[in-house]
Structure formats: structure tokens, C-alpha cells
Chain A
Amino acid sequence: MNKLDMPGRHSTLQSEKHAKSSFIPSPVESTSPAPNEEKINILLVDDTPAKLLAHEVLLEELGENVVRASSGRAALEQLLKGDFGVILLDVNMPDLDGFETAALIRQRPKFEHTPILFITGYNTSDLDRVKGYDAGAADYIFLPVVPEVLKAKVRVFVELARKRKIVEAQAHALAIQNARQQEQIRTIQDLNQQLIAANEELEAFSYSVSHDLRSPLRAMQGYAQALIEDYTGNLDPKAEDYLHRIRRAALRLDALVQDVLAYTQLSRTETRLESIQLDSLLAEIIQESRVLKQARASVRILPPIHPVLAHEACLTQCMTNLLENSAKFVPAGRLPEITVRTELLESRVLVWVEDNGIGIDPKHHSRVFQMFGRINHSNHYEGTGMGLAIVKRVVERMGGAVGYDSQPGQGSKFWINLAQGSS
């Protein structure tokens, strides 16, 4: 690229080189750069055309780009055009000599540290001046040039330049990658902000839903109740039945609104896990559950009930839903019998809730834990179809799993799997 030679000159030089039998050609493998490596530019400065040519031929063997300049000024011009890994300067030149040229080169920040090889006769004063330059960035070669010495010295500097280029390229790539990562972090932060805003909006929405949807429901339910109470006996049985249906539907819708709210709120509550004594929690739930009482369910708790690692509110919700679910789905005329037991599985606890209910047909398997995944006719069984969906969500929030084992007509065994707590 930076070569001053005409195209085709190269081959001439090659043949010339081979003509000179005194040169020992270096093995090609060691001198040619790898195909994907960029060639390093070498600037060769000499006012004597013969020396210039001879040194160029020698350096061509390194397989790099050799650029020639016939004076100090020409050299400075070349430096404007490109980057150089090493500069060979003839000391003895008219006008600007090698040292003067070197001083000018050093003034340019880009070439402040570029290695310079002075080519000099055996002359003490020259040597002293060479030593004035910083070690490592300058060296010297005596005339007449010994080809192997010249090549060896230049090769060292070329390799240095190549390494530096690689490091620079890597630094550049790293900088780009860094910038890209910064960009990604900014994007993530933006998205996070949007998410927080959306979450806040959802929260506000769900609370206003709670307020605005439930208020008319209370009225519907309450007035139906008032009619039933105040006009009993004055209504024919059909009218009374209709009123009961209105009342029940309003209650059902209210339960549904509450369940949907509970479900959406679950995703936002922070679930910090702590060790929970499941046995006392179960006792409290059984004590307080209206559904269990109304169903006259008997709940047996089989010791030992192992403590679990859970979030108390979430676990309460989950166990309540499982127990009430078991109490709800019993055939007409049968009283629910529920058994709760635990099982240790390495460091996990399997909590089983077993019932004598109607069981679940395997064909409904995929819908059991879905939202509104009711599989039974709503006329027979009260419910919102949210209970088990909430259980699944809650348990997964606590890093656990949920499942069941059931056959139609033979009851169901639901299990949840949680980390073991300390007693």
C-alpha cells in the first residue's frame, strides 16, 4: 500500500535477491505473517539509492510492507500517510541527518514511541547520541549491514508492533463491547422503569376494581336478602327462588373478584421465605375456615408435620385453598374427610392433602391448575375456578412445585413440595 514501487517491481526484486547467493534465505514459514494478520509497515530511510535497494531486498524477506524514503523530509512525508511499526534511519544524510530526522519524528505524538533503528558507521560520537534515546525505542546497526543482524533486529520490532496492534484491536473491541453493554443496561433500566410504572398502574387498577366492582355487588346481594327477609310468605316459591339465585350469583361474583385480585396481587408481593411450623398454621386455618365448617369436613393431621421454608401469607392462602377445595368436591350426601401428612424427601418436604371427594378424570389433567379451569358443573359445585391456579402460582413463587394423584370416584391426593424448614 505504502510502497513507492511500481507494481511488478516486487518480482524484479525477488529475482535480484535470488541472484545474490550471499544471502541466506530465511525459512518462509517463520517470516510470512499468518494470512489473517495485517502486514506491518517498515519505513526505510536512506539517501543512497544502492543502500536503500539492498536493505529493502533484505527486509522484503520478512514479508511485511517496506516503504522507502530517500531523505529525512521524504520520511516525514511518509509518516503523514500511514502508521509504521519500525523506522530505519540512515544517520549520515545531507540536509536532515538521521538524528535530526529522529528528533522531528519524536515530536509527533503518534510516533513518540515508534522504534527507530539508526544505521551508522562505527563512530563513537554517533553511538553516544544513539544512547541519548530511550532504551528499547531505539537501536543501531553498523555499516556494512550484516543481513541476519538487520533482519533479526527488525523482526523483533515488527513482532512488537504486531502485538501492540493486536492489543489495540482488543482494547477497541472491548471498548465497543463496553459501550454496547452500557447501552443494554440503559435499555434494561428503561424497561424496568416502564415495568414499575405498569405495576403501579395495575395495583391502582386492581384496588379500584376491588372498590368499584364490589360495591354494586354488595347492594345486589343485600337488597335480595332484604326482599327475602321482609317478604317471606308474601312471595310465591318461584319468586323466592329467583331472589336466592340473585343473591348467590352476587356472592359468587364477589368471590370471583376477590380471587382474581388475590391472583394478580400474588405476583407483586415480595415472598421472603422463613421457617414455618406447618402444624400450627394448619390448626389455625381449620379453626377459621368458614367453608370447612359449613361442609362439616373432618380434617386429620397425621404427625409428624415437618416445618417448611415458606412465606406465611402465601402458605396460608395455599393450604386454605387446598383444604377448601377438598371439602367442596365431595359427592352429594358424603361428608368430606381430609388427611394432611408430610413426607421428607432429602431436604424437601412433600405436603399431602388427601380427600374422599369425587376425584379428577385424567382427561382434565391439563386444566386442573389453570385459571378458571373449572372441570365440574358449576350448578353442583360452588367455586370460582381460581383456587388451584392460585395454589400453583403461590407455590411456584416460593420455589416449590405442586401436583396431584387422582382417579375419578376415588378421591384426590394433592401435594406441594417446599424446602424443609427448621423446627
Chain B
Amino acid sequence: MGPSPLLLLVEDNEDDLFLMMRALKNAKVDLPLRTASDGQQAMDCLAAMETPADDSTGALPVIVLLDINLPQISGFELLAWIRARPKSPNLIVIMLTSSNHPMDIRRAYELGANSYIVKPASYEQLLEFARLFKAYWLSFNRSPV
């Protein structure tokens, strides 16, 4: 197992952010966590992590939970930006959005999303998602090192 990844939550809705963080905490997802409430913040955060001063072991693995509907820079634009960068093989992007639109789903995968989740309606389901997220992405899934 490599180093445990960093989790970046990109979400502009405070309520959704609060509930997501709560669900992750209750599901005992204890990863280093960053949050960004818009695309620019997320870009800054990712760019900062990508330039390790002198270390050649490469960047930390990162998992991004990404909303589509963000102010100024949309989740799609951010996703395209992420995938256009050369040094992000270890970057898993999971779309977490309220859109169930087939076009949005298709576009997300075309742009290189690893997964697409429609925000669950109830807190119980959100908690279930957090548990499954932990089991799947942090335990079963293998990423390139």
C-alpha cells in the first residue's frame, strides 16, 4: 500500500459540504481532507500539491469529490483542467452532483471522471455512500503508483 491519499472535497454548497464531511467522519474515513468552495480554490490546492520541492517520489495520490455546479469555473472545466495536466495519474475524480442528466453523466466520463455519483437524497444514503466509498476506493481499488 502506498501513502494514504488526500481527499479534496470541491463543493460550494455549505450544507452539502457539512453533511458530506459529517457522513465521512461517521463512516470513519480518516484521510487528510481539504475543501474548496470553487474551482479556483481547487486548482490552487492541486497545483500546490503537485510541485514537491525536491522530492522525486512524485505527488501524493489524491481523490477529488467534485460537484458540477460551481461558481465561475464549473466542475467540468475543473475536470478538464485536471486531466490536461501531465502529472496527475494518481488523481481519482468522483463526480458528486445532484444532476442525473444523461448528458452530464456522459460528459463527465468523456472528460475522464472515474466515477459519477448522484447526491443521495437522505442522510442515511449519504452515510451508506461514505461507507461504500471507504470500502471501494480506499480498500479494494488499486491506483497506479
Contacts and interface: CB of A to CB of B under 8 A. Distances in A.
Specify whether A and B are partners: yes
Interface stretch (B36-44, B58-66, B77-85, B95-103): B95-103
Interface in A187-245: 207, 210-211, 214-219, 221-223, 225-226
A125 B124 CA distance: 114
B121 A221 contact: yes
Given A211-B69, A225-B123, A226-B123, A218 B19 contact: yes
Contacts of B22: 222, 226
A376 to B, nearest CB: 23
Contacts of A221: 121-123
Count class of interface residues, chain B: 10 to 19
Contact of B15 (A210, A211, A219, A255): A219
A219 B126 CA distance: 12
Contacts of B120: 218
B98 A223 contact: no
State the main secondary structure of chain A at its contact with B.
Answer: helix
Given A222-B15, A222-B19, A223-B15, A211 B99 contact: yes
Interface in B2-49: 13, 15-16, 18-19, 22
Nearest to B124: A225
Contacts of A219: 15-16, 19
B131 interface: no
Contacts of B15: 215-216, 218-219, 222-223
A215 B122 contact: no
Contacts of A70: none
Nearest to A253: B121
Given A207-B99, A207-B101, A222-B19, A251 B122 contact: yes
Contact of B16 (A215, A254, A255): A215
Nearest to A255: B121
A217 B98 CA distance: 12
A219 B121 CA distance: 9
A161 to B, nearest CB: 67
A317 interface: no
A216 B14 CA distance: 11
Nearest to A224: B123
